[in-house]
């Protein structure tokens, strides 16, 4: 089933930034080893806001 952009009078918001930031503490714990391996020093806030 498809719906319009408005459900119960609430507009849809971008799914990615809010979904990934909901459990930020858990995400940080999981990301720690990945950041070390990938050489990432900090989060790119502009990329997260896309």
Task: Report the distance separating Cα 46 and Cα 42, nearest Å.
Answer: 12
Amino acid 37: pLDDT: 93
**What residues contact 21, with CB distance under 8 A and at least 6 apart?**
27, 48
Of 6-10, 37-41, 44-48, minimum mean pLDDT range: 6-10
Question: Does pLDDT of 39 surpass 70?
Answer: yes
For the record, the structure tokens of 49 come out as 């806001």
> Residue 18 is encoded by which pair of tokens?
């809010």
User: Measured between alpha carbons, how far is 35 from 37 in angstroms, rounded to an integer?
Assistant: 6
Q: Indicate the domain borders of the chain.
A: 13-48
SS3 content of the chain, % helix, strand, coil (to 5): 50, 10, 40
User: Quick check: pTM over 0.85?
Assistant: no
Mean pLDDT of 19-45: 81
């Amino acid at each position: 089933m498809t719906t319009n952009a408005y459900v119960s009078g609430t507009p849809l918001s971008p799914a990615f930034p809010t979904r990934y930031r909901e459990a930020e503490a858990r995400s940080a714990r999981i990301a720690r080893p990945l950041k070390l391996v990938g050489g990432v020093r900090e989060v790119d806030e502009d990329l997260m806001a896309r």
